[in-house]
Structure 1
Amino acid sequence: MQNNQSIMQISENKDGSAKVLFRIRKAEMADVDEIMAVMHEAKNDKEHPDWFVSDDEEYVRTHIEEQGFVIVAQTADGSVAGFFLIKYPENREDNLGTYLDFDEEQLSHVAVMDSAVVCCAYRGNGLQGHMLEEAERLLDTDQYYYLMCTIHPDNQFSRHNMEIHGYEVKRTALCYGGLPRCILLKDLTESGKSPAQVVKSSKQ
């Protein structure tokens, strides 16, 4: 059985202040209010209003328990510093594989790295990458081995973060009611190993 949480020690903040301990773990229902507060902050980003499409509380609750899971980064005082929501698509409309003309068999093996947000106060600590790594560690990679996400073309930070974790831009399309998005794919079958072996070897 896999350990469902990991501890990460950050040496210092950007300003050189004291060490901060973050816990990267699966979210629980008790985290929903704080997850929604983080999402609300991102939704109100006036500088880049098209970069993030927010979800409602019901959507978050559904993906904590049923149609995926959520990873949170928790501070030493117990507050949620960020979250990463992973979705198991229930139908073709929710499945990013349709943008790459996947067949029905391929679509059944897609997991969507759906949304990631880190509070402004905690950016610069690499939390998005650490949450992504934990999400991939917890995925059933025998079932889900086409990992996909969307990123606004101008969001160079998120794009770079996903690319250094093995995701590749496959095309650009209009999504979410007409917003431009890069469609990224991490294909765990391309190395010739089984999907589970690929993820295991990447953690060693």
Structure 2
Amino acid sequence: MQNNQSIMQISENKDGSAKVLFRIRKAEMTDVDEIMAVMHEAKNDKEHPDWFVSDDEEYVRTHIEEQGFVIVAQTADGSVAGFFLIKYPENREDNLGTYLDFDEEQLSHVAVMDSAVVCCAYRGNGLQGHMLEEAERLLDTDQYYYLMCTIHPDNQFSRHNMEIHGYEVKRTALCYGGLPRCILLKDLTESGKSPAQVVKSNKQ
């Protein structure tokens, strides 16, 4: 059984001068307002408006306790610096496995690494990767072993971050009402490893 204990992550500036303490943990309902503030910042990104599709508050609340879970990166002063939302698809329309022609059995084992956002002020600290690692640690990989996500083809940073964690681009398709997206898959049945082992081997 997976435990829900949070982890602490120390990040250091490139010059080695300053350290910032982040707590990577599962989100609670009390985090919703701050999660929505982070989402609002991403939604208003004028440089790359097609890279991120925002969700409403009800969607976030549903996935905190019922149809998945949310990971947050919390600063030393307690504010939310970023979040990663994980979705357990309830129907074919929400299931990215349909883009890869998964059968019904395969679709039942898909978890969607749905959306990840880090506040502009805290980018460069590796938070997206640390939140992903914590999300994979908490996943029930006996039930969910096809991990999937979508990334805009021009978003090289996010694509690289997912690829070094074992995700592979399987195809490009139009999603979310006609937006281009790479469809990525991490097949744990193929690797024969737990998420933590895959992350470790990819970093060596």
- TM-score bracket relative to the smaller structure: over 0.9
Identity %: 99
Q: 1:69-96 deviations in whole A, cap 9, x for unaligned?
A: 0000000000000000000000000000
Query: Are the equivalent residues in 1 in contact too, given 2:166–2:198 (CA < 8 A)?
Result: no
Superposed displacement of residue 202, structure 1: 8.5
**CA 1:22–1:179: 2 relative to 1, 3 Å:** same
Q: 1:148-201 deviations in whole A, cap 9, x for unaligned?
A: 000000000000000000000000000000000000000000134688987899
Query: Are the equivalent residues in 2 in contact too, given 1:170–1:184 (CA < 8 A)?
Result: yes
Moved more, 126-135 or 13-22: 13-22
Partner of 1:25: helix, strand, or coil? strand
Query: Are the equivalent residues in 1 in contact too, given 2:164–2:202 (CA < 8 A)?
Result: no
Q: Which runs of 5+ in 2 are unaligned?
A: none
**CA 1:194–1:61: 2 relative to 1, 3 Å:** closer
Superposed displacement of residue 126, structure 1: 0.1
C-alpha distance in structure 2 between counterparts of 1:122 and 1:194, whole Å: 29
**CA 1:104–1:154: 2 relative to 1, 3 Å:** same
Q: Which runs of 5+ in 1 are unaligned?
A: none
Moved over 2 A (4+): 5-18, 191-204
C-alpha distance in structure 2 between counterparts of 1:200 and 1:160, whole Å: 16
Partner of 1:11: helix, strand, or coil? strand
Moved more, 57-66 or 16-25: 16-25
Q: 1:189 — aligned with what?
A: 189
**CA 1:91–1:39: 2 relative to 1, 3 Å:** same
Superposed displacement of residue 7, structure 1: 3.1
C-alpha distance in structure 2 between counterparts of 1:199 and 1:4, whole Å: 19
**CA 1:127–1:143: 2 relative to 1, 3 Å:** same
Q: 2:21 — aligned with what?
A: 21
Superposed displacement of residue 4, structure 1: 1.7
**CA 1:59–1:15: 2 relative to 1, 3 Å:** farther
TM-score (structure 2 length as normaliser): 0.93
Query: Are the equivalent residues in 1 in contact too, given 2:43–2:49 (CA < 8 A)?
Result: yes
Query: Are the equivalent residues in 2 in contact too, given 1:146–1:186 (CA < 8 A)?
Result: yes
Q: How does 1:34-45 map to 2 (within 5 A)?
A: 34-45=34-45
Query: Are the equivalent residues in 2 in contact too, given 1:7–1:21 (CA < 8 A)?
Result: no
Query: Are the equivalent residues in 1 in contact too, given 2:136–2:196 (CA < 8 A)?
Result: no
Query: Are the equivalent residues in 1 in contact too, given 2:168–2:186 (CA < 8 A)?
Result: yes
**CA 1:200–1:69: 2 relative to 1, 3 Å:** farther
**CA 1:70–1:193: 2 relative to 1, 3 Å:** closer
**CA 1:14–1:40: 2 relative to 1, 3 Å:** farther
Query: Are the equivalent residues in 2 in contact too, given 1:82–1:119 (CA < 8 A)?
Result: yes
**CA 1:95–1:13: 2 relative to 1, 3 Å:** same
C-alpha distance in structure 1 between counterparts of 2:136 and 2:185, whole Å: 13
Query: Are the equivalent residues in 2 in contact too, given 1:142–1:195 (CA < 8 A)?
Result: no
C-alpha distance in structure 2 between counterparts of 1:160 and 1:49, whole Å: 20
**CA 1:196–1:134: 2 relative to 1, 3 Å:** closer
Partner of 1:189: helix, strand, or coil? helix
